[in-house]
Structure 1
Amino acid sequence: MAKQFPQIEETHRKFIEEQHMFFTGSAGPEGRVNISPKGMDSLRVLGPNRVIWMNLTGSGNETAGHLLEVNRITLMWCSFTTRPMILRAYGTARILHAGDDGWDELAALFPAHRSARQIFDVSVDLVQTSCGYAVPLMEYQSERDTMQKWVDNKSDDDIRAYWSDRNRSTIDGKPTGVPV
């Protein structure tokens, strides 16, 4: 049975911190809906209505483009271990890039990563939990080292060139606001 809350409760925070991955969901007023898996040490719960995550370079940049058009976002955590639960946090988000006011303060909460593309500062206005009974049990092995190897083989200029080539617009052709 789904339950709704106006904020992230302490039990929710603990659940979030136990998960090795989360998903983001966003959409513009038209076009495709985007759902992206996120991992690594890239998310922090800063309060009952605030979550931030450092978005690392990826093959697309849909969330940023969608938020520029329609400021709404959903974050979802799903337990793959013995405690079945799904938790969704609904809200809006502010996008920060390196050099923006507040970037240094928030970036300091994460391990340094040269491919950090944005920080999303999410204001949560609704939390919903549901059972997750149909979610399979899976065993966590480890983080992948693929991202770090990719970054280690690139200069800062190479990463910015990648952003320019692959991350400046959504798959629907909308701007993402990524600096290049």
Structure 2
Amino acid sequence: MAKQFDQIEDDHLSFIEEQAIFFTGTAGPEGRVNVSPKGMDSLRVLGPNRIVWLNWTGSGNETAAHLMQANRITLMWCSFGKRPLILRTYGTARTVHEGDADWDDLLGLFDPAPGARQIYDVTVDLVQTSCGYAVPYMEAPRERDTLKKWADRQGRDAVRDYWTERNTRTIDGAPTDFK
């Protein structure tokens, strides 16, 4: 049975911190819905209704475009371990770019990240938990460091060139918030 909450409670925070992966979901008013898995040390819960998520450079930039079109976002965690639970946070997000007034402060919450593209500052207005009885048991023995190594090899300027080449339009052709 699903339960709803107005904020992230201590038990929710503990659950989030235990998970090795989370998923983001966004959609514009038309076009495709985007769901992406996220890992690495890229998320911080800053309060009962606030999450910041460091978005690394990727093959697309759907989240940025969707938030420009319809400011709504869902983050989801599910347990692949002993405790069967799915937790979703629903809300809106503000996109923070390098050069924005609070970029340095928010980026400082994370380890150095040459592949950092945006930071999403999420305002949570609903938390929902549900059973995870059908989620399989799986192990996450270690994080994959391929993306970090790629960004380190490229350097910040080459990463920015990559954005220009590959991150300015969604798969539906909508513009992203690339800066």
**TM-score scaled by structure 2?**
0.98
Q: Which amino acid aligns with 1:88?
A: R
Alignment of 1:41-56 (within 5 A): 41-56=41-56
Query: In the alignment, which residue of structure 2 is the partner of 1:12?
Result: 12
Match of 2:100 in 1: 100
CA-atom RMSD in angstroms: 0.7
- How many residues are matched? 179
1:13-28 → structure 2 map (5 Å cutoff): 13-28=13-28
Offset from partner CA, 1:69-120 (integer Å, 9 cap, x none): 0000000000000000000000000000011011111111011100100000
Deviations 1:21-60 (CA, angstroms, capped at 9, x unpaired)? 1000000000000000000000000000000000000001
CA separation in 1, counterparts of 2:127 and 2:148?
33
Q: Structure 2 CA distance, aligned partners of 1:149 and 1:160?
A: 16
| Gapped regions of structure 1 (runs ≥ 5) | none
Q: Distance in 1 between matches of 2:59 and 2:145?
A: 16
In structure 2, how many angstroms separate the alpha carbons of the residues matched to 1:104 and 1:148?
19
Using the alignment, how far apart are the partners of 2:156 and 2:104 within structure 1?
18
More off after superposition, 40-49 vs 150-159: 150-159
Partner of 1:104, secondary structure, is helix
Aligned to 1:151: 151
Structure 2, unaligned stretches of length 5 or more? none
Question: Quick one: which amino acid aligns to residue 62 of structure 1?
Answer: E
Structure 2 CA distance, aligned partners of 1:53 and 1:127?
Answer: 17
Give the secondary structure class of the aligned counterpart of 2:171. coil
Partner of 2:115: 115
Structure 1 consecutive aligned stretches of length 4 or more whose deviation exceeds 6 Å: none
2:65 alignment counterpart? 65
Residue 2, structure 1, aligned to residue 7, structure 2: no
How far has the Cα of 1:148 moved from its partner? Answer: 2.0
Task: Provide the TM-score with structure 1 as the length reference.
Answer: 0.98
